[in-house]
Structure 1
């Protein structure tokens, strides 16, 4: 029998973090109840509770995962200044997402190509020393941005690939 700790570790491996952490972020930033999140994802409240509490590793429906990613992206927008008055309508749009949103358009760039372009751009506009200093300067206020500066400005392709895998749910 797999215990909650192992289940949560598997969630972190699959999703880049636990579902519980993601749902807590969504409920806090978007001011939704857990039942509201479940409705938006298209799963039952008990199912969501089981996944959040580590009694299940994942959702049976990939559409629920896509919708949770969309809610997290919406939370990012709210934190960047999206007027809160727009949240309810945007949550409704997330609830109506269907399976056609699960695949990337064929013309969407490969994330590894984008990573190479970002690395090239950072290295074209600043030296390694400048990028390290910039990362240090923003680390307290924006640790994720500092990580991007370090990984893509100073790191190699393997480090960039590993970072992309960790943040793929945000893309």
Structure 2
């Protein structure tokens, strides 16, 4: 189990992992995976392939046997699919193409996310977000999705000497609300 203390046998490690996922991602990943597979009418294995994960890893994340998504691109793909699904049903004839485009997108939170999932394909990833408008997730959101602000600041401190530009990105992500 990820990050679950072994010295507390009275604790439910899966419940703790789901709570950590809720803290990191806004909800347990099992809920998000279920929502996506149901809305798209696909299996968990097919979703895993589109996200760039092994089916076993997606199963572990969904079942809260693992807490974190280790690859920001995978999280970005999941967020992009979730945003597309939240706008309304995907016609069954378009699901395969959508999944192929998501899988082929290296950084779905950037400018090409709109092209990938049917959002506004504005060339500026920093475009203003207005209520009701589907905007691509900001890279800072993806960073905070895989690590807490405190850990981002700690990573920035470690990188500051050798990679000051990356340290600044991490500090900005940690402070952005």
| Length-normalised TM-score, structure 1 | 0.58
- Tell me if the contact between 1:19 and 1:51 (Cα under 8 Å) persists in the aligned partners: yes
Give the equivalent residue in structure 1 for 2:96.
88
How many residues of Structure 1 are paired with residues of Structure 2 in the alignment? 111
Give the equivalent residue in structure 1 for 2:50.
40
If each structure's helix is expressed as a fraction of its own residues, which one has the higher value?
1
Question: What runs of 5+ residues in structure 2 fail to find an aligned partner?
Answer: 5-12, 112-123, 132-176
| Length-normalised TM-score, structure 2 | 0.56
Shift of 1:106: 5.2
Structure number with greater CO (CA < 8 Å, separation at least 6) is 1
Q: Which is greater in Rg?
A: 1
Post-superposition Cα deviations, 1:39-66, rounded to whole Å, max 9, x if no partner, equal 0110111111111111111111011111
Spell out the pairing of 1:130-141 with structure 2 (5 A cutoff).
none
- Structure 1 residue ranges (4+ consecutive) displaced by more than 6 angstroms after TM superposition: none
Shift of 1:103: 4.3
Mark the CA change 1:108 to 1:56 in structure 2 (over 3 Å): closer, same or farther: same
Give the equivalent residue in structure 1 for 2:109.
102
The two structures, once aligned, show a CA RMSD in angstroms of: 2.3
